[in-house]
Structure 1
């Protein structure tokens, strides 16, 4: 999130504060580095994790992080470095 926050500050000359969700939303609105559908999937996983109970739900979240979130952030890093 710090990388996205820094990008927003650098591109808009304004301080950015807020939750990780807000930072991700602002960054996705200003950058083509984050796919909209992927951003929504990550937010769904984040929101679902708040009230998660049970081993199976925890496993699904772990697999979502490994299969969706980590590759998305790796792609984001490549995109931002390429700027």
Structure 2
């Protein structure tokens, strides 16, 4: 398996099927003395929420930027922008 420039890997289909990992599933990687393990936090196929408010409630508290502003988070995520001139 190759890691992309963005740090992403593709979970092979046979493993996704075996662990019931589909769109909307949450997984985590846990490092231990043997390497890293994939942990399924919540499996199952993605379901459309009944309405927008239900969706907001379902994702509330799942994203923490550690106090960073949107711009700070985007720079942390993507790296500094080299296409902008410095003033």
- The TM-score with structure 1 as length reference comes to 0.28
- The TM-score with structure 2 as length reference comes to 0.27
User: Of Structure 1 and Structure 2, which has the larger fraction of its residues in strand?
Assistant: 2
User: Of Structure 1 and Structure 2, which has the larger fraction of its residues in helix?
Assistant: 1
**Larger Cα Rg: Structure 1 or Structure 2?**
2
Q: Which structure ranks higher in relative contact order (CA pairs < 8 Å, sequence separation ≥ 6)? A: 1
